[in-house]
Amino acid sequence: MPNLLDVAYLGLLLAASPVLFARAWRRSKSRQGLMDKLRGRVPRRIGDAPCLWLHAVSVGEVLLLRPLVAELQRRRPDWDVVVSTTTSTGLEVARRTFPELVTFYAPLDFSWAVRRALERIRPTALVLVETELWPNLIRAASARGARVAVINGRLGRRSHRGYRRFRALLAPTLRRLDAVAAQSQESADRFLDLGVPADRLSVTGSIKYDGLESDRGVPKVREARRALGLEGASGPIFVAGSTMDGEESAALQAYQRAKVDHPGLRLVIVPRHPERGAELARMIEGRGEVVWRRGVEDRPPGGREDGRQAVLLIDTVGELSSIWGLADVAFVGGSLYPGRGGQNVMEPSAFGASVLFGPHTSNFREAVEGLLGRDAARVVRSATELGDALQLELADRDSSRARGASARRFVLAQRGATERTLAALDRLVGRRGRPDRVANPPHRSASRAASSAA
């Protein structure tokens, strides 16, 4: 039976329908899975084994689950592990990353959709990654007897402020959470402020550090170099990754300035939304450059008779984590203009690239502060500053490499969150697979433990 929250959701859906319809018309991926999400149509799980349902909203959250899932499968081989996502790109990457697992679209937070999904999956525990606080899903899972947890929990200043407006309504839902494993003390304090009981909070650090590749010699990086025709590249490689509208133009402008003094420089652009590939190709060609599209071309780009090198446009899903391993200088997108919050600055840092990003990085504030505090990255505030910074990095390669090495050391020093998160999950479901009621340690003492472990 629909509840008041369903009515509110329907009202918001109707109000936003013109925008949603326009987006769906432009992007076919926005339409994918919509009816499954509305109806809670998910695969029916077979058998009665204990089940851990992991929900990760999109690509970044799916990828950070890799070390956690591997260790869960090793420690609990008799458990079923299933993974849901919200976005089509997230589901595509989940299917490729976890081919042996059941993967599916998470239901929208309507009572009928979450009820049907829970009836089909029958989870022993529902584990939400980062900030997926869906009241109907949390309440319904808890009512069915499933343990409910948030791992890698993150609440930025803006999200906290938004949730705080509805604290009176949200607090009863958050009190149903059996555990919240937060990335930082700051996030833990914000969860506490919203109503999560203190004895259910712990600070584990970010799992994202543990799953990061840091070796440029691994097969997937070598394959990326071959696929992009960069095996014989003698000049530096500039990768602009997870870029959003306007940032590709800024990266191209920086590249065109820098290649005057560094003619061997190569540019690789990996947009956050690969469906923008055709639009970006037109922009690049309009600036007088040759473009090679990964999503269209069958063969690696070769040298041209006129000596011009193509700008490499990677309009595919799931390849950026390998391509960062090719970068001498990396620009991390979603950060140059307001309202986006930044993208994962840790991935190129782990490879020891010289990392550049804009001022709008609230989604990764702790990592950004750690890098800047070690002079291991640069902030650029405009397209012009991006060009200036790229030229500085290329002009003094020794300083640039030292900055990259410092970034890599910082990332490696943060590892260990996966083990602390697994300990929290052990407390959540019991070491023998039976849910127990052992509380997590209070979040302040856990913070000290996490800090000493790091």
Active-site amino acid positions: 61
- The 3-state DSSP class for residue 353 equals coil
Q: Whole-angstrom Cα distance, residue 97 to residue 165?
A: 38
| 18 CB-contact burial (10 Å; exposed 0-12 / middle 13-18 / buried 19+) | exposed
Label residues 121-151 b or e (16+ Cβ within 10 Å = b).
Answer: bbbbbbbbbbbbbbbbbbbbbbeeebbbbbb
DSSP string computed for 317-341 = SS-HHHHGGG-SEEEESS-SSTTS-
Please tell me the distance from the alpha carbon of residue 315 to that of residue 270, in angstroms, as a whole number. Answer: 7
As a whole number of angstroms, the distance between CA 364 and CA 345 comes to 7
Residue 386 · residue 240 · CB < 8 Å: no
Task: Let me know: does 38 contact 108? Beta carbons within 8 Å.
Answer: yes
Q: Which helix (H) or strand (E) holds 82?
A: strand 80-85
The closest alpha carbon to 96, from 52, 132, 123, 59, belongs to: 59
Number of H helices, E strands in the chain: 20, 14
What are the tokens at 84?
Answer: 């849901």
Q: Kindly state the helix (H) or strand (E) to which residue 292 belongs, with its residue range.
A: strand 291-293
**Closest by Cα among 140, 144, 126, 199 to 173:** 140
- Residue 319 tokens read as 């390849």
Residue given tokens 């193509």 in the structure block:
310
Evaluate whether 404 touches 382 at the Cβ level (below 8 Å): no
Strand (E) or helix (H) holding 147: strand 147-153
Please list the alpha-helical segments (H only) found in 98-218: 111-121, 135-143, 157-164, 167-174, 185-194
Q: Residue 384 and residue 358: Cα distance in Å, rounded? A: 12
Q: Collect all residues with Cβ–Cβ distance below 8 Å to 285 and sequence separation of at least 6.
A: 291
